[in-house]
Amino acid sequence: MKQLKEISDWVKQTDLVEVFYKNKKDHIKIKTAEAPVEGAHIQCSYKEILSPALGIYHASQKGKNLNLKEGKVVKKGEVLGIVEQGKTNKEIKCPVEGKLKKIMIEDGDAVEYNQPLFFVEEAS
């Protein structure tokens, strides 16, 4: 019984949800009723620009290189690239005017729907 208490106390100190223990004569299975710890929530004053679709990101469109760099001033509605999705392309437009602070992807990267692609510091 002492061993069971020690294992139970140990499980509570971890983020494990289930543990199975076995020795030569005994075995036990422990499931915790507690939910796993959530990740940290971070607030940011930058505007995130999300991928409009699942596909491949391209930093150019029809022979036009967009030449995006961190620190570049961007205008509302400016195209920041495209997501190629099969035979269709979805433009990524900047929703605000400001400064491009962080580029999270590179040309040719596979992206998921709603994946953060850029962070823009809004102009005041």
Q: What is the distance between the alpha carbons of residues 4 and 23, in angstroms, rounded to a whole number?
A: 12
Q: 100 or 3: which carries more pLDDT confidence?
A: 100
CB–CB of 51/92 below 8 Å? yes
**Residue range 6-19, pLDDT digits in tens:** 767 777 777 677 77
* Domains of the chain, CATH where assigned: 2-31 (no CATH), 47-122 (2.40.50.100)
Asked if residue 96 has pLDDT above 70, the reply is: yes
Q: What band does 84 get if pLDDT is binned at 50, 70 and 90? A: very high
60 — phi, psi (to 5°)?
A: -150, 165
**Residue range 42-79, pLDDT digits in tens:** 667 899 999 999 999 998 766 677 788 999 999 999 99
Alpha helices in 13-99 (DSSP H): none
